[in-house]
């Protein structure tokens, strides 16, 4: 008999407390039972499985790291492990949770007033209010730090927002969207909680994606969209505050990539053990084993890297360049792992039902969002050389 499939080669899970390990296993069995059976079909049809939202609420891991407001107040390490478990089963559902729990709740938690936190975070933790995060624009992707063209201006009636936001995950059905806009008066980036029924706010679904097809991305248009001062995030005073949210969520994306890579590796290894050619399991061929070992080496390097990343985060020592390095390394290695997984499965590697094709496609989006390889590399490059090479 072949040995059991073990994608935790260096026993990282052995570092977890019994309580954390139990949470990890609870999340894993939930995802295997409730999410795995649904995702290929929803992915194929480019639709979101709304029936899982109440079940996700019951799982009670949304907003896991925040203190108060019904949130668990847990460690960044366990938050990462949860993101990785989601990524292992489906990167789209992992992204849905990442947008809700990280980008949207994180913006309110880090930049909101006490009243805003009381109003939104408990309902978002319970997934009764769904959030989105609107930073990217049709003409401004990598250059959002200095180049946002969406504007806000304070008037007697409140703030008036104008512009467009592209790629905004969850926004086709979100109750609120955090919108980042440049103030025409002081030229600083400010953040707003924009409600879906706000006049002047409209969303069009982006169709035809070949990755993360379950995630519903929208093109948002803001036309003289009036937002009251009470819905402005008071602690978002410049892009530096937006970047604090991105630092946390980039660490989360690195973990999610680890999960995506692990899911692909486990499926591929299982396949090579049972698929026979020339009268033998293909796992017995040297060239196949080479692919499997390359995958496992990269996966193990990623697992140890994100483990230390989260320790730094929990010690309060995480810097932008730490999160960026992990995001670049893990999403780049994941791309390599998913393509080898697909390769060792031959033709079946491109069929959805064999569970690797989805990871192969989804890795492409994870690689590009939350800062491309180039942009995150330039963040690391700036920190190690002292030279900013963005422009
Ligand atoms: P561009 O900025 O046009 O870049 C194109 C290429 O040029 C890239 O390879 C880039 O690295 C390179 N490049 C750009 N500048 C430089 C430079 N100075 N030096 C070297 N190379 C450079 N955004 C949100 O706000 N909210 C969301 O919820 C959200 N979800 C997303 C979901 C998906 C599936 C996708 C694909 C994107 C999502 N995004 C979201 C947007 C995402 O963050 C951007 O796509 C990303 O930041 C890259 O911007 P861009 O696509 O405009 O590419």
What pLDDT does 83 receive?
98
Ligand 1 centre to CA of 367 (Å) is 10
Tokens representing residue 128 in the block: 């009764």
What local confidence, expressed as pLDDT, does residue 296 receive? 98
Residue nearest to atom 35 of ligand 1 (CA): 369
Ligand 1 centroid – CA 369 distance (Å): 6
Determine the pLDDT at residue 1: 84
Ligand 1 pocket by Cβ (under 6 Å): 99, 133-136, 141-142, 167-169, 212, 215, 217, 365, 368-372, 374-375, 390
Q: DSSP character for 232?
A: B
**Does the global pTM surpass 0.95?**
yes
* Distance in Å, CA 364 to ligand 1 centroid: 12
pLDDT at 373: 98
By alpha-carbon position, which residue is closest to atom 8 of ligand 1?
372
Alpha helices in the chain (DSSP H): 18-30, 36-45, 52-59, 76-89, 91-97, 105-111, 114-125, 144-147, 239-274, 286-314, 320-344, 357-368, 373-385
What is the residue with the minimal CA distance to atom 34 of ligand 1? 365
Alpha carbon of 279 to ligand 1 centroid (Å): 47
- Give Cα separations from 309 to 12, 130, 251, 373 (angstroms): 13, 28, 7, 18
Q: How far is the CA of 280 from the centre of ligand 1 (A)?
A: 45
- Give the pLDDT of residue 2: 87
Residue with the smallest CA separation from ligand 1 atom 48 is 141
Residue 375 CA to ligand 1 centre (angstroms): 9
pLDDT in tens, the chain (391 residues): 889 999 999 999 999 999 999 999 999 999 999 999 999 999 999 999 999 999 999 999 999 999 999 999 999 999 999 999 999 999 999 999 999 999 999 999 999 999 999 999 999 999 999 999 999 999 999 999 989 999 999 999 999 999 999 999 999 999 999 999 999 999 999 999 999 999 999 999 999 999 999 999 999 999 999 999 999 999 999 999 999 999 999 999 999 999 999 999 999 999 999 999 999 999 999 999 999 999 999 999 999 999 999 999 999 999 999 999 999 999 999 999 999 999 999 999 999 999 999 999 999 999 999 999 999 999 999 999 999 999 9
Please return the burial class of 276, using the count of CB atoms within 10 Å of its CB with bins 0-12, 13-18 and 19+.
exposed
Give the ligand 1 atom nearest the CA of 370: 43
Q: Are 292 and 267 in contact (CB under 8 A)?
A: no
pLDDT of residue 201: 98
Pocket test for ligand 1, best of 98, 131, 142 (most atoms within 8 A of CB): 142
How far is the C-alpha of 299 from the C-alpha of 265, rounded, in Å?
8
Are 260 and 363 spatial neighbours (Cβ–Cβ below 8 Å)? yes
The CB density around residue 37, as the number of other CB atoms within 10 Å, is 9
Distances (CA, A) of 311 to 57, 95, 180, 251: 27, 22, 30, 11
What atom of ligand 1 comes closest to residue 140's alpha carbon? Answer: 52
Select from 181, 211, 256, 372 the residue to mutate for testing ligand 1; criterion: most ligand atoms less than 8 Å from CB.
372
391 CA: nearest ligand 1 atom: 18
């Amino acid at each position: 008999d072949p040995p059991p499939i073990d994608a935790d080669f260096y026993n990282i899970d052995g570092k977890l407390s019994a309580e954390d390990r139990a949470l990890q296993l609870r999340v894993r069995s939930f995802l295997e039972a409730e999410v795995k059976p649904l995702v290929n079909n929803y992915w194929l049809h480019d639709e979101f499985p709304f029936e899982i939202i109440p079940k996700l609420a019951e799982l009670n891991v949304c907003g896991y790291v925040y203190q108060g407001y019904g949130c668990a107040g847990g460690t960044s390490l366990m938050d990462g492990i949860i993101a990785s478990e989601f990524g292992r089963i489906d990167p789209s559902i992992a992204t849905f949770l990442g947008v809700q729990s990280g980008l949207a709740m994180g913006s309110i938690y880090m930049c909101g007033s006490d009243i805003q936190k009381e109003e939104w975070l408990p309902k978002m933790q319970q997934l009764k209010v769904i959030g989105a995060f609107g930073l990217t624009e049709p003409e401004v992707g990598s250059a959002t730090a200095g180049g946002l063209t969406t504007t806000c201006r304070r008037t007697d009636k409140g703030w008036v927002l104008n512009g467009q936001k592209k790629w905004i995950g969850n926004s086709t059905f979100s109750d609120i969207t955090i919108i980042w806009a440049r103030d025409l008066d002081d030229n600083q980036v400010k953040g707003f909680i924009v409600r879906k029924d706000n006049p002047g706010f409209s969303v069009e679904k982006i169709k035809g994606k070949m990755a993360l097809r379950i995630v519903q991305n929208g093109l948002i248009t803001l036309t003289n969209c009036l937002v009251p001062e009470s819905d402005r995030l008071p602690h978002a005073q410049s892009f530096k505050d937006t970047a604090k949210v991105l630092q946390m969520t980039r660490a989360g994306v690195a973990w999610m990539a680890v999960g995506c890579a692990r899911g692909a590796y486990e499926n591929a290894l299982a396949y090579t053990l049972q698929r026979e050619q020339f009268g033998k399991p293909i796992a017995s061929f040297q060239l196949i084993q080479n692919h499997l070992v390359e995958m496992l080496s990269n996966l193990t390097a990623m697992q140890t890297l994100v483990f230390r990343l989260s320790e730094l985060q929990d010690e309060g020592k995480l810097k932008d360049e730490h999160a960026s390095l992990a995001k670049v390394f893990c999403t780049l290695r994941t791309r390599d792992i998913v393509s080898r997984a697909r390769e060792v499965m031959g033709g079946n590697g491109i069929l959805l039902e064999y569970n690797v094709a989805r990871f192969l496609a989804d890795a492409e989006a994870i690689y590009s969002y939350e800062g491309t390889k180039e942009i995150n590399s330039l963040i690391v490059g700036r920190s190690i050389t002292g030279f900013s090479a963005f422009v």
